[in-house]
Amino acid sequence: MRVLVAEDHITLAARIGEGLTDAGMAVDVVHDGAAALAGASDTAYDVIVLDRDLPLVHGDQVCRSLAGVAARILLLTAAASVDDRVDGLELGADDYLGKPFAFPELVARVRALARRAPSAPPLVRRGDLTVDRARHRATRAGRALSLIRKEFGVLEMLAAADGTVVSAEELLEHVWDVNADPFSNVVSVTLTRLRRKLGPPPLIETVVGRGYRL
């Protein structure tokens, strides 16, 4: 797993880098927003740990600029009110952790982000299917699809996978919450409804023993 840490507090940045390295990750550390943007453009990171209050280029602008890259973004900041968290997520971040934090939680959150399907741009097109992640809408051949939250989540994840197979376990982990029963047929039931709403010709293929792909 490749991680970029962008934190202007030199000591804290070094400790985060060392801790994530000790956890088995390959870590690069930068101390300003310009360096974060440059690093992200040169390297395909799995996760970017991003401080909001960065010099040269503010962390908010960095987050907006990186919203379409493959890396998942974890905002790390002392501003941890509900409004701050909402603002951070609306900037395009995938997760938000306030300072001070417990280091095991940081490691767990980074690992959880890296397990997710690769991020896709806000607007994903696959043939005549368009998935608008920002507005939570999908259309096929110009026809709006009436999808409930779980159906859209499954479609979004399959679209982001760009033709690769996504297992039922991955769909269950990333679309449902921790209370979902891993032995239930909720994924297959949701896929049946989703296929019906997508209409012909079929878009979602079942790969026997492996999962599903768009």
What pTM does this model have? 0.55
Q: What architecture (CATH level 2) is domain 123-213? A: Orthogonal Bundle (1.10)
Residue 129: closest CA among 114, 117, 149, 144 = 144
Question: pLDDT (tens digit, 9 = 90+) per residue, 150-174?
Answer: 898 899 889 888 788 999 888 887 6
CA distance 55 to 35: 10
Identical fold between 2-115 and 123-213: no
pLDDT mean over 16-21: 91
Looking at residue 91, its pLDDT comes to: 74
Map out the domains of the chain as residue ranges: 2-115, 123-213
pLDDT tens per residue across span 175-200: 765 456 666 788 989 999 999 999 99
What dotted CATH number matches 2-115? Answer: 3.40.50.2300
The rounded distance, in Å, linking the Cα atoms of 92 and 171 is: 21
The span from the CA of 59 to the CA of 56, in Å, is: 9
